């Protein structure tokens, strides 16, 4: 399946399907054909240790067979790789190999690799060609679409980065076979989020078809393609997040708060899990503001439970800080303007909206209540 992302200055395809890594050479040639067809293709493959162990060889063999010059650059797996030292390392390797502006960087990995390699591609020689080959469900439906790249700073996640669109995205669903099921579920939370933003039918479809989405086959591919299409549409209308793109943050204000709160725990939440709880909290908060009835939240909660996602603060192992401390994590988040918080709230199942004037006190009171129930 192909989803096209249409932007003002640039259009690119997201190709989704089985067996795409094996066919990568023709895809890569096709999407890089804009440059002289006689020039030899040279590329750097940025990946992490886990992904390299499973999938690098398949890709590299195909490329080498086709006389495509490749340099693999393998970094440690995990969020820590979205840092200045690792970025510098990646850049140095690319420069030492004398890759030039017309050469390409492939990101083969999850969101961490996509963000890191995309950022490197955007700044090396003021921009090299870039191809995303996302290998987690989250990366296939979310982080590889939309062109946000970046690394973390000591002062917060994703604070240093660029908007930089790839030449194409190649999402091979076969690689999901090796993805740990916990990572798959976490990505699935973002898929459910797309339904809850403004497509109640997609949410209902997921409720019925989730088992097929969790296993290899056409339904899984369809779910990924529908998710990409949804994100692509939002990005088309709002490439630089001045408006509706903020809807994608549904569940993320509370979610980031929980990720920050559990960063140093040995059994910390991963992003999609924090988002799952964040989505439920955003709905409960909407209940409290008399926007929706509890039945809406209960339905979503039931679905998350069915697939094995956490749904409440009580599902988090370890002790959470008090509500005041949690609030400071929300205030550090970049969505804060002065004394008002921007939240994504909801009016009904699958009808979210951007609320710009939420008072921090209301949130604090809400969090206190939620913590008391534990
Ligand atoms: P990740 O890249 O850390 O991958 C999760 C884990 O799965 C890692 O340990 C990785 O090594 C492993 N893995 C990846 N693919 C695998 C495979 N096929 N088989 C086996 N193991 C595999 O995490 P993620 O959840 O993909 O992405 C999270 C990152 O994405 C965060 O840094 C977040 O900020 C970023 N993000 C960016 C955007 C964006 O728009 N740019 C959007 C959402 C999230
Ligand atoms: Zn997210």
pLDDT digits (tens, 9 = 90+) for 332-368: 655 555 578 889 999 999 999 999 889 889 999 999 9
- Tell me which residue has tokens 């997201």: 14
pLDDT band at 211 (very low <50, low <70, confident <90, very high): very high
The better pLDDT of the pair 2, 189 is held by 189
Task: Please tell me the distance from the alpha carbon of residue 317 to that of residue 288, in angstroms, as a whole number.
Answer: 26
Measured at the alpha carbon of residue 136, what is the angle toward residues 130 and 141, in degrees to the nearest 5? Answer: 75
Compute the distance from residue 249 Cα to the ligand 2 centre, in Å: 7
What interface predicted TM-score (ipTM) does this complex get? 0.99
Q: Which residues are catalytic?
A: 126, 148, 190, 231, 241, 245, 249, 252, 256, 271
Strand (E) or helix (H) holding 45: strand 42-48
Task: Please tell me the distance from the alpha carbon of residue 177 to that of residue 215, in angstroms, as a whole number.
Answer: 8
**Contact assessment for residue 355 and residue 345, using Cβ atoms and an 8 Å cutoff:** yes
15-35 burial: b if 16+ Cβ within 10 Å, else e: bbbbebbeebbebbeebbeee
Q: What is the pLDDT of residue 239?
A: 76
pLDDT digits (tens, 9 = 90+) for 3-53: 888 877 788 889 999 999 988 888 888 777 655 555 788 899 999 999 999
**Contact assessment for residue 129 and residue 32, using Cβ atoms and an 8 Å cutoff:** yes
Query: Residue 111: is its pLDDT beyond 60?
Result: yes
Does ligand 1 lie within 6 Å of residue 179's CB atom?
Answer: yes
Task: Please tell me the distance from the alpha carbon of residue 282 to that of residue 131, in angstroms, as a whole number.
Answer: 35
pLDDT digits (tens, 9 = 90+) for 66-86: 888 999 999 999 999 999 999
Mean pLDDT, all residues of the chain: 91
The better pLDDT of the pair 373, 325 is held by 325
Q: What is the pLDDT of residue 335?
A: 52
pTM over 0.90: yes
Does ligand 1 lie within 6 Å of residue 158's CB atom?
Answer: yes
Query: Residue 266: is its pLDDT beyond 80?
Result: no
């Amino acid at each position: 399946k192909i989803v096209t992302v249409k932007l003002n200055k640039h259009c690119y395809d997201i190709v989704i399907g089985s067996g795409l890594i094996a066919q990568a050479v023709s895809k890569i040639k096709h999407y890089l054909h804009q440059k002289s067809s006689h020039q030899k293709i040279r590329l750097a493959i940025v990946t992490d240790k886990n992904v390299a162990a499973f999938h690098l060889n398949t890709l590299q063999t195909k490329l080498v067979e086709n006389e495509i010059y490749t340099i693999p650059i393998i970094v440690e797996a995990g969020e820590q790789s979205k840092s200045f030292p690792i970025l510098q390392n990646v850049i140095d390797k690319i420069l030492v190999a004398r890759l030039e502006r017309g050469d390409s960087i492939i990101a083969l990995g999850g969101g961490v690799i996509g963000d890191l390699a995309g950022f490197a591609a955007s700044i090396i020689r003021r921009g090299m060609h870039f191809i995303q080959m996302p290998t987690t469900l989250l990366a296939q439906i979310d982080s590889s679409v939309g062109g946000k790249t970046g690394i973390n700073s000591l002062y917060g996640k994703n604070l240093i980065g660029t908007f930089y669109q790839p030449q194409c995205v190649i999402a091979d669903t076969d690689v999901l076979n090796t993805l740990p099921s916990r990572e798959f579920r976490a990505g699935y939370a973002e898929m459910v989020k797309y339904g809850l933003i403004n497509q109640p039918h997609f949410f209902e479809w997921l409720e019925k078809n989730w088992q097929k989405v969790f296993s290899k086959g056409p339904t899984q591919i369809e779910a990924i393609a529908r998710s990409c299409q949804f994100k692509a549409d939002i990005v088309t209308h709002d490439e630089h997040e001045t408006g509706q793109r903020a809807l994608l943050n549904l569940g993320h204000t509370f979610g980031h708060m929980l990720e920050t709160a559990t960063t140093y725990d040995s059994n910390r939440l991963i992003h999609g899990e924090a988002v799952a709880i964040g989505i439920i909290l955003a709905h409960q908060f909407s209940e409290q503001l008399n926007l929706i009835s509890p039945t809406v939240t209960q339905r979503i909660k039931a679905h998350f439970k069915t697939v094995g996602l956490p749904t409440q603060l009580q599902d988090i192992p370890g002790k959470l800080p008090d509500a005041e401390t949690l609030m400071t994590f929300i205030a550090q988040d970049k969505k804060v303007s002065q004394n008002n918080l921007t939240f994504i709230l909801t009016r009904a199942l699958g009808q979210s909206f951007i609320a710009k004037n939420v008072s921090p006190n209301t949130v604090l009171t809400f969090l206190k209540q939620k913590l008391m129930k534990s």
